[in-house]
Amino acid sequence: MASHPEGGCHRTRSRRPCGCDGGISRLRIRVDGRGATCRRRYTQSMTTTIKVSDELRDRLKAQAGRDGLTLGAHLERLADAEDRRARLAALKSAIGATSPEDAARHARETEDWESTELADAS
């Protein structure tokens, strides 16, 4: 924790420790609490704090604003995109590891199904 000058923290003006790290910001993000069970009573959505640099916070806020999104919605979109990227990378790897015999068998089976569908349509 940084020690604060006589006037207190530069953000909160409080003399109590605030956790500012000189260049580290705190983002408040709403997290959907559905499905979570706990003995404590939580509201439908909870807020959590993550530490990021001021530069990253500003970039994320600008990106969210450009798309008309809240910061939480923008971070959700980024997480979804990363999940999709990882799934496609795993698929590409699996396709690359497929033997030529299995690929040929798959191509024949696909052709059989497609011709069956066309015959049923007429």
pLDDT digits (tens, 9 = 90+) for 54-102: 999 999 999 999 999 999 999 999 999 999 999 999 999 999 999 999 9
Residues 6+ apart with CB under 8 A from 30: 45, 46, 47, 70, 72
What pLDDT is stored for residue 38 in this prediction? 39
> Mind listing the pLDDT tens digit for each residue in 44-55?
566 788 899 999
**107 vs 9 pLDDT, higher one:** 107
What pLDDT is stored for residue 83 in this prediction? 97
**Which of 25, 23, 30 is CA-nearest to residue 71?**
30
User: What is the CA angle 104-109-115, rounded to 5?
Assistant: 125
> Mind listing the pLDDT tens digit for each residue in 102-114?
999 999 999 988 8
